[in-house]
Amino acid sequence: MTPCIICVAITGSLPTKANNPAVPVTISEQIDSTQEAFEAGASIVHCHVRDDEGRATSDPERFARLKEGIERHCPGMIVQLSTGGRSGAGRERGAMLPLCPDMASLSVGSNNFPTRVYENPPDLVDWLAAEMIRYDVKPEIEAFDLSHIFQAERMHRDGRIRATPYVQFVMGVKNAMPVDREVFDFYIHTVRRLFGPDAPWCAAGIGANQIVLNEWAVAAGGHARTGLEDNVRLDKDRLAPSNAALVRRVVQLCEKHERPVASWQQAREILDLPTTALATATTAVLAPSSP
Ligand SMILES: [Zn+2]
Protein backbone atom coordinates (compact mmCIF):
# COMPACT_ATOMS: atom_id res chain seq x y z
CA MET A 1 0.00 0.00 0.00
CA THR A 2 1.13 3.53 -0.75
CA PRO A 3 2.39 5.25 2.38
CA CYS A 4 -0.11 7.72 3.81
CA ILE A 5 0.95 11.35 3.98
CA ILE A 6 -0.30 13.04 7.13
CA CYS A 7 -0.77 16.79 6.85
CA VAL A 8 -1.14 18.76 10.08
CA ALA A 9 -3.03 22.05 9.92
CA ILE A 10 -1.69 23.52 13.12
CA THR A 11 -3.49 26.83 13.64
CA GLY A 12 -5.89 28.06 10.93
CA SER A 13 -7.57 31.45 11.00
CA LEU A 14 -10.37 30.80 13.44
CA PRO A 15 -9.60 28.68 16.54
CA THR A 16 -8.54 30.59 19.65
CA LYS A 17 -7.02 29.68 22.99
CA ALA A 18 -10.54 30.04 24.39
CA ASN A 19 -11.63 27.18 22.12
CA ASN A 20 -8.61 25.10 23.10
CA PRO A 21 -5.52 26.36 24.96
CA ALA A 22 -3.39 23.98 22.84
CA VAL A 23 -3.99 26.02 19.65
CA PRO A 24 -0.54 27.42 18.76
CA VAL A 25 -0.80 31.14 18.05
CA THR A 26 2.63 32.74 18.44
CA ILE A 27 5.39 31.77 16.02
CA SER A 28 7.34 29.95 18.73
CA GLU A 29 4.24 28.00 19.82
CA GLN A 30 3.64 27.12 16.18
CA ILE A 31 7.19 25.85 15.70
CA ASP A 32 7.02 23.73 18.89
CA SER A 33 3.63 22.30 17.94
CA THR A 34 4.84 21.49 14.42
CA GLN A 35 7.94 19.74 15.70
CA GLU A 36 5.87 17.56 18.02
CA ALA A 37 3.48 16.72 15.16
CA PHE A 38 6.41 15.99 12.82
CA GLU A 39 7.88 13.61 15.36
CA ALA A 40 4.45 11.94 15.68
CA GLY A 41 4.30 11.27 11.92
CA ALA A 42 3.14 14.37 10.05
CA SER A 43 5.14 15.15 6.89
CA ILE A 44 3.27 18.27 5.71
CA VAL A 45 2.52 21.30 7.86
CA HIS A 46 -0.26 23.62 6.66
CA CYS A 47 0.35 27.08 8.10
CA HIS A 48 -1.53 30.27 8.83
CA VAL A 49 -0.09 33.12 10.90
CA ARG A 50 -1.72 35.41 13.46
CA ASP A 51 -1.00 39.00 14.46
CA ASP A 52 -0.20 40.12 18.04
CA GLU A 53 -3.92 40.15 18.87
CA GLY A 54 -4.31 36.59 17.58
CA ARG A 55 -6.16 37.60 14.41
CA ALA A 56 -5.44 35.95 11.07
CA THR A 57 -3.05 37.85 8.82
CA SER A 58 -1.16 37.23 5.58
CA ASP A 59 1.90 39.13 6.86
CA PRO A 60 4.83 37.74 4.85
CA GLU A 61 7.32 38.67 7.58
CA ARG A 62 5.53 36.38 10.06
CA PHE A 63 5.27 33.63 7.48
CA ALA A 64 9.02 33.98 6.86
CA ARG A 65 9.85 33.53 10.54
CA LEU A 66 7.53 30.54 10.84
CA LYS A 67 8.89 28.87 7.70
CA GLU A 68 12.46 29.40 8.81
CA GLY A 69 11.78 27.97 12.28
CA ILE A 70 10.02 24.90 10.90
CA GLU A 71 12.79 24.27 8.39
CA ARG A 72 15.33 24.47 11.18
CA HIS A 73 13.48 22.26 13.69
CA CYS A 74 11.79 19.83 11.28
CA PRO A 75 14.29 19.31 8.45
CA GLY A 76 12.65 17.74 5.42
CA MET A 77 9.07 18.46 6.45
CA ILE A 78 6.96 19.91 3.63
CA VAL A 79 5.93 23.48 4.42
CA GLN A 80 2.59 24.51 2.98
CA LEU A 81 1.48 28.13 3.46
CA SER A 82 -2.18 29.10 3.25
CA THR A 83 -3.43 31.58 0.67
CA GLY A 84 -6.92 31.10 2.09
CA GLY A 85 -9.37 33.97 2.10
CA ARG A 86 -9.85 34.34 5.83
CA SER A 87 -6.41 35.88 6.30
CA GLY A 88 -6.52 38.76 3.88
CA ALA A 89 -8.22 40.19 0.83
CA GLY A 90 -7.22 40.17 -2.81
CA ARG A 91 -3.57 39.86 -3.67
CA GLU A 92 -2.55 40.16 0.01
CA ARG A 93 -3.45 36.49 0.11
CA GLY A 94 -0.42 35.64 -2.01
CA ALA A 95 2.05 38.03 -0.39
CA MET A 96 4.00 35.14 1.15
CA LEU A 97 4.55 33.22 -2.11
CA PRO A 98 7.90 34.94 -2.82
CA LEU A 99 9.18 33.02 0.23
CA CYS A 100 9.13 29.97 -2.09
CA PRO A 101 7.52 27.48 0.31
CA ASP A 102 7.29 23.88 -0.92
CA MET A 103 3.53 24.19 -1.27
CA ALA A 104 0.64 26.60 -0.86
CA SER A 105 -3.08 26.05 -0.70
CA LEU A 106 -5.09 27.23 -3.70
CA SER A 107 -8.86 27.58 -3.82
CA VAL A 108 -10.02 27.68 -7.43
CA GLY A 109 -13.70 28.53 -6.98
CA SER A 110 -16.14 30.20 -4.62
CA ASN A 111 -18.66 28.71 -2.21
CA ASN A 112 -20.43 29.54 1.01
CA PHE A 113 -18.79 29.37 4.42
CA PRO A 114 -20.67 29.31 7.76
CA THR A 115 -21.29 33.06 7.88
CA ARG A 116 -20.05 34.45 4.56
CA VAL A 117 -19.22 33.86 0.94
CA TYR A 118 -15.77 32.38 0.38
CA GLU A 119 -14.83 34.54 -2.57
CA ASN A 120 -12.31 33.24 -5.06
CA PRO A 121 -12.87 35.31 -8.20
CA PRO A 122 -11.31 33.93 -11.42
CA ASP A 123 -8.79 36.77 -11.85
CA LEU A 124 -7.47 36.32 -8.30
CA VAL A 125 -7.28 32.53 -8.67
CA ASP A 126 -5.31 32.94 -11.91
CA TRP A 127 -2.97 35.47 -10.31
CA LEU A 128 -2.29 33.19 -7.31
CA ALA A 129 -1.68 30.23 -9.64
CA ALA A 130 0.71 32.32 -11.77
CA GLU A 131 2.62 33.43 -8.67
CA MET A 132 2.94 29.77 -7.64
CA ILE A 133 4.48 28.96 -11.02
CA ARG A 134 6.75 32.00 -10.75
CA TYR A 135 8.09 30.97 -7.34
CA ASP A 136 7.99 27.22 -8.00
CA VAL A 137 5.40 26.52 -5.28
CA LYS A 138 3.29 23.39 -5.62
CA PRO A 139 -0.40 24.16 -5.16
CA GLU A 140 -2.75 22.01 -3.11
CA ILE A 141 -6.20 22.44 -4.62
CA GLU A 142 -8.83 22.93 -1.94
CA ALA A 143 -11.96 21.28 -3.34
CA PHE A 144 -14.96 22.55 -1.39
CA ASP A 145 -17.14 21.47 -4.30
CA LEU A 146 -17.05 19.07 -7.26
CA SER A 147 -16.73 21.99 -9.69
CA HIS A 148 -13.39 22.90 -8.08
CA ILE A 149 -11.89 19.57 -9.21
CA PHE A 150 -12.98 20.27 -12.78
CA GLN A 151 -11.62 23.81 -12.58
CA ALA A 152 -8.24 22.41 -11.46
CA GLU A 153 -8.30 20.11 -14.50
CA ARG A 154 -8.99 23.06 -16.84
CA MET A 155 -6.19 25.05 -15.26
CA HIS A 156 -3.82 22.10 -15.59
CA ARG A 157 -4.79 21.51 -19.21
CA ASP A 158 -4.10 25.10 -20.25
CA GLY A 159 -0.92 25.44 -18.20
CA ARG A 160 -2.13 27.61 -15.32
CA ILE A 161 -1.23 24.72 -13.01
CA ARG A 162 1.94 22.96 -14.03
CA ALA A 163 2.11 19.53 -12.44
CA THR A 164 -0.79 17.13 -11.90
CA PRO A 165 -3.06 18.87 -9.41
CA TYR A 166 -2.95 17.53 -5.85
CA VAL A 167 -6.54 17.83 -4.73
CA GLN A 168 -7.81 17.95 -1.18
CA PHE A 169 -11.50 17.21 -0.64
CA VAL A 170 -12.85 19.42 2.14
CA MET A 171 -16.09 18.16 3.65
CA GLY A 172 -18.23 19.28 6.53
CA VAL A 173 -17.86 23.06 6.28
CA LYS A 174 -21.26 24.46 7.21
CA ASN A 175 -23.14 25.71 4.12
CA ALA A 176 -20.66 23.99 1.78
CA MET A 177 -20.27 20.27 0.86
CA PRO A 178 -21.44 18.04 3.72
CA VAL A 179 -19.81 14.75 4.70
CA ASP A 180 -21.38 12.36 2.25
CA ARG A 181 -19.90 8.98 1.40
CA GLU A 182 -21.27 8.79 -2.13
CA VAL A 183 -19.90 12.22 -2.98
CA PHE A 184 -16.57 11.26 -1.44
CA ASP A 185 -16.40 8.14 -3.64
CA PHE A 186 -17.38 10.19 -6.67
CA TYR A 187 -14.64 12.72 -5.86
CA ILE A 188 -12.08 9.89 -5.89
CA HIS A 189 -13.54 8.51 -9.11
CA THR A 190 -13.37 11.98 -10.69
CA VAL A 191 -9.75 12.59 -9.64
CA ARG A 192 -8.74 9.22 -11.11
CA ARG A 193 -10.65 9.88 -14.31
CA LEU A 194 -9.25 13.38 -14.81
CA PHE A 195 -5.70 12.96 -13.49
CA GLY A 196 -4.96 9.23 -13.80
CA PRO A 197 -5.46 6.19 -11.57
CA ASP A 198 -2.37 6.90 -9.48
CA ALA A 199 -2.93 10.62 -8.90
CA PRO A 200 -2.53 11.31 -5.18
CA TRP A 201 -5.35 13.08 -3.34
CA CYS A 202 -6.17 13.92 0.22
CA ALA A 203 -9.16 14.70 2.41
CA ALA A 204 -10.07 16.90 5.34
CA GLY A 205 -13.16 16.86 7.55
CA ILE A 206 -14.26 19.63 9.88
CA GLY A 207 -15.05 19.23 13.58
CA ALA A 208 -16.21 15.79 14.65
CA ASN A 209 -16.01 14.75 10.99
CA GLN A 210 -12.23 15.07 10.98
CA ILE A 211 -11.77 11.49 12.17
CA VAL A 212 -14.46 10.28 9.75
CA LEU A 213 -12.66 11.74 6.72
CA ASN A 214 -9.32 10.57 8.10
CA GLU A 215 -10.55 6.99 8.17
CA TRP A 216 -12.24 7.17 4.76
CA ALA A 217 -9.06 8.56 3.20
CA VAL A 218 -6.69 6.12 4.90
CA ALA A 219 -8.88 3.14 3.94
CA ALA A 220 -9.33 4.31 0.33
CA GLY A 221 -5.63 4.89 -0.37
CA GLY A 222 -5.65 8.69 -0.04
CA HIS A 223 -3.76 11.04 2.22
CA ALA A 224 -5.11 12.58 5.39
CA ARG A 225 -5.23 16.02 6.94
CA THR A 226 -5.69 16.58 10.63
CA GLY A 227 -4.88 19.34 13.13
CA LEU A 228 -6.42 21.95 15.36
CA GLU A 229 -7.33 24.25 12.44
CA ASP A 230 -10.15 21.88 11.49
CA ASN A 231 -11.05 20.38 14.84
CA VAL A 232 -10.12 21.16 18.46
CA ARG A 233 -11.54 18.01 20.11
CA LEU A 234 -10.49 14.40 20.55
CA ASP A 235 -14.12 13.43 21.11
CA LYS A 236 -17.22 15.12 22.41
CA ASP A 237 -15.96 15.16 26.00
CA ARG A 238 -12.28 15.93 25.54
CA LEU A 239 -10.29 18.72 23.93
CA ALA A 240 -7.33 17.59 21.85
CA PRO A 241 -4.23 18.14 24.01
CA SER A 242 -2.05 18.97 20.98
CA ASN A 243 -1.71 18.79 17.22
CA ALA A 244 0.50 15.74 17.77
CA ALA A 245 -2.37 13.95 19.54
CA LEU A 246 -4.51 14.43 16.43
CA VAL A 247 -1.65 13.17 14.25
CA ARG A 248 -1.39 10.07 16.44
CA ARG A 249 -5.09 9.30 15.81
CA VAL A 250 -4.30 9.13 12.08
CA VAL A 251 -1.21 7.00 12.71
CA GLN A 252 -3.49 4.54 14.55
CA LEU A 253 -5.88 4.49 11.60
CA CYS A 254 -2.95 3.74 9.31
CA GLU A 255 -2.02 0.77 11.51
CA LYS A 256 -5.63 -0.43 11.49
CA HIS A 257 -5.79 -0.25 7.68
CA GLU A 258 -2.23 -1.50 7.14
CA ARG A 259 -0.97 1.69 5.55
CA PRO A 260 2.58 2.73 6.35
CA VAL A 261 2.88 6.36 7.46
CA ALA A 262 4.85 8.35 4.87
CA SER A 263 8.22 9.68 5.96
CA TRP A 264 9.00 13.18 4.71
CA GLN A 265 11.18 11.61 2.01
CA GLN A 266 8.31 9.39 0.84
CA ALA A 267 5.89 12.31 0.98
CA ARG A 268 8.22 14.39 -1.20
CA GLU A 269 8.52 11.52 -3.64
CA ILE A 270 4.75 11.01 -3.86
CA LEU A 271 4.17 14.74 -4.40
CA ASP A 272 7.11 15.13 -6.78
CA LEU A 273 8.84 17.69 -4.55
CA PRO A 274 12.61 18.07 -4.28
CA THR A 275 14.34 16.37 -1.39
CA THR A 276 15.59 19.37 0.54
CA ALA A 277 17.98 17.28 2.62
CA LEU A 278 19.83 16.55 -0.59
CA ALA A 279 19.92 20.25 -1.45
CA THR A 280 21.13 21.08 2.05
CA ALA A 281 23.79 18.37 1.87
CA THR A 282 24.99 19.70 -1.48
CA THR A 283 25.20 23.21 -0.09
CA ALA A 284 27.13 21.90 2.90
CA VAL A 285 29.63 20.23 0.59
CA LEU A 286 30.02 23.36 -1.50
CA ALA A 287 30.13 25.81 1.40
CA PRO A 288 33.39 26.28 3.26
CA SER A 289 33.11 24.82 6.75
CA SER A 290 35.21 27.50 8.43
CA PRO A 291 33.50 30.82 9.21
ZN1 LIG B 1 -5.97 26.59 6.32
Separation of alpha carbons 136 and 100, rounded Å = 7
Give the integer Cα–Cα distance in Å for 45 and 227. 9
The two beta strands, 103-106 and 6-9, are unpaired
Residue 192 CA to ligand 1 center (angstroms) comes to 25
Going by pLDDT thresholds of 50, 70 and 90, the confidence category of residue 276 is: low
Query: What is d(CA 143, CA 109) in angstroms, rounded to the nearest whole number?
Result: 8
* Ligand 1 centroid distance, CA of 289 (Å): 39
Average pLDDT over residues 132-141: 98
**Ligand 1 centroid to residue 195 C-alpha, Å:** 24
The alpha carbon of 48 and the centre of ligand 1 are apart by a number of angstroms equal to 6
Q: Model pTM?
A: 0.94
Between helix 210-220 and helix 243-256 the angle, nearest 10°, is 40
Mean pLDDT, all residues of the chain:
94
Q: What is the pLDDT of residue 277?
A: 53
Q: What is the pLDDT of residue 87?
A: 66
Question: What is the distance in A from the centroid of ligand 1 to the CA of 16?
Answer: 14
Per-residue pLDDT reduced to its tens digit, 59-96: 999 999 999 999 999 999 999 999 987 767 899 999 99
CA atoms of 212 and 181, how far apart (whole Å): 10
Q: How far is the CA of 118 from the centre of ligand 1 (A)?
A: 13
Centre of ligand 1 to C-alpha 80, Å, is 9
Which 3-state string (H, E, C) describes 175-230?
Answer: CCCCCCHHHHHHHHHHHHHHHCCCCCEEEEECHHHHHHHHHHHHHHCCEEEECCCC
Q: How remote is the CA of residue 211 from the centroid of ligand 1, in Å?
A: 17
Q: How far, in Å, from the CA of 240 to the mean position of ligand 1?
A: 18
pLDDT at 290 exceeding the cut of 80 = no
For residue 118, the model assigns a pLDDT of 94
Provide the 8-state DSSP code for 4.
Answer: B
pLDDT tens-place string over residues 213-231: 999 999 999 999 999 999 9
Cα gap 174→144, rounded to integer Å: 11
Ligand 1 center to 283 CA (angstroms): 32
Rounded to the nearest 5 degrees, what angle is found at the Cα of 207, between the Cα atoms of 77 and 82?
40
Higher pLDDT, 154 or 275: 154
